[in-house]
Amino acid sequence: MKIIDFEEVVAQIKVKEAIEVMRNCFMDYGNGKISQTTRLVESLPDGKNKNIFAIMPAYLGDGRYFGAKIITAFPDNHLQQLPSHLGEILLFDSRNGVPVAMIDANSITWIRTAAVSALATDFLAKKDAKTLALVGAGQQAVSHLEAICAIRPINKVSVYDLSKDRSLTFRETMKKKYPQIEFVSGDTLEETVNQADIICTLTTSKDAFLQKEWITPGTHINAIGTFTPETREITSELMKESDIYVDDYEATLKESGDLLIPIAEGVLSKSAILGSLSELVSGKTFVENQGQSITIFDAVGLAIEDLCLAEYIYQKVKETK
């Protein structure tokens, strides 16, 4: 069994490759060629009420692979200079059940999450979008910046984080990597997102913070940070005023607090979801008047994404060794 660590995963794939892997993944999912089982999420009984252990299984079909991502989410890990999400992906051969690889889950999650956001953004954001707001300056901000730049000509990025030091470090580091982009930081969250063409919320917040009054028509939002029914980033009023798309109907209606809380309040109904990413990729759903309304891509993260990218990485490693 091959063991593939963080550095090897990152070395094996470019962001545009990852976006195409995700495009094929959602096409196969929409056509019923691959499947997944609902994520098992347990809050650890450590008295902190925020640390999570999760298992995410998926099956890619006969002749391909199956397996699961086993991962933890510890929101305070940055205090120990560690990523919030850590774990492994176990990959098995579908022909005989043989375990073939154990792949670092943090790297896969880091890359595939941003690739999926970029794929959705390509369908939902206006074609001339040039300004990006990142709410949260952690690891996902790095990958989302790269992925969004791969599909839109971004020339200005505003960043907001509860930690001003982390926001400053992110801006200074990214300025060196993207000298053609202007990096700024608003004093407030409202100032950071105001007038942004694309907004990515990348936090572990339990409470909604993105307000309807701050967002103008034509803005696209990737709501990425939370994946439990009790946590959310988008206020009910903003959800109500937006065109909503999801990574998966079943998953988001079980796990997304951004959807479930306003539905419980009576502000939103399930019919507010206009389409899934599989439907967008396959052409079953079309976005009319792209760039004229507020759009939200509400994603909780799917096991199929992890397994498809893990399979891709494993195959590349096999070919190069």
CATH number for 222: 3.40.50.720
Q: What are phi and psi of 13, to 5 degrees?
A: -145, 145
Tell me how far apart the alpha carbons of residues 219 and 152 are, in angstroms, rounded to a whole number: 14
Whether residues 206 and 245 fall in one domain: yes
In a domain, 17, yes or no: yes
Whether residues 310 and 165 fall in one domain: no
Whether residues 145 and 188 fall in one domain: yes
Q: What are phi and psi of 128, to 5 degrees?
A: -100, 20
Buried b / exposed e across 148-173, counting CB within 10 Å, b at 16+?
bbbbbebeebbbbbeeeebbeebbee
Beta strands in 85-240 (DSSP E): 85-93, 99-104, 131-135, 156-160, 182-184, 198-201, 220-223
Band (pLDDT 50/70/90 cuts) for residue 5 is very high
Whether residues 54 and 185 fall in one domain: no
Q: 3: which strand partners?
A: 102
Whether residues 84 and 134 fall in one domain: no
In a domain, 166, yes or no: yes
Q: What is the pLDDT of residues 176-225, one digit of tens each?
A: 999 999 999 888 999 999 989 999 999 888 889 999 999 999 999 999 98
Whether residues 309 and 261 fall in one domain: no
What does DSSP say about strands 99-104 and 85-93: parallel, antiparallel, or unpaired?
A: antiparallel
Whether residues 220 and 128 fall in one domain: yes
Q: Lowest-pLDDT range, 226-235, 237-246, 310-319?
A: 226-235
In a domain, 176, yes or no: yes
In a domain, 210, yes or no: yes
Whether residues 102 and 182 fall in one domain: no
Tell me how far apart the alpha carbons of residues 59 and 303 are, in angstroms, rounded to a whole number: 9
In a domain, 116, yes or no: no
- Return the CATH number at 21: 3.30.1780.10
Question: Tokens 């053609």 identify what position?
Answer: 180
Tell me how far apart the alpha carbons of residues 87 and 302 are, in angstroms, rounded to a whole number: 15
**Mean pLDDT, rounded, for 47-71:** 94
Mean pLDDT of the chain: 94
Kindly write down the DSSP assignment for every residue of 16-36, as one continuous string. Answer: HHHHHHHHHHHHHHHTTSSEE
What does DSSP say about strands 35-36 and 40-43: parallel, antiparallel, or unpaired?
A: unpaired
Q: What is the pLDDT of residues 89-102, one digit of tens each?
A: 999 999 999 999 99
The alpha carbons of the chain give a radius of gyration, in whole angstroms, of: 19
Band (pLDDT 50/70/90 cuts) for residue 25 is very high
Structural domains in the chain (count): 2
In a domain, 118, yes or no: no
- Helix (H/G/I), strand (E/B), else coil: 286: coil
In a domain, 113, yes or no: no
**Mean pLDDT, rounded, for 143-162:** 96
Q: What are phi and psi of 88, to 5 degrees?
A: -140, 155
In a domain, 115, yes or no: no
Whether residues 256 and 204 fall in one domain: yes
Q: What are phi and psi of 295, to 5 degrees?
A: -115, 145
Q: Lowest-pLDDT range, 65-69, 80-84, 235-239, 315-319?
A: 80-84
Whether residues 208 and 158 fall in one domain: yes
Give the residue numbers spanning the domain of 202.
Answer: 123-302
Band (pLDDT 50/70/90 cuts) for residue 321 is low
Query: For residue 316, what are its two tokens?
Result: 């590349």
Whether residues 32 and 161 fall in one domain: no
Please report the pLDDT score of residue 10 as a whole number.
95
Whether residues 97 and 184 fall in one domain: no
**Cβ–Cβ under 8 Å, residues 68 and 89:** yes
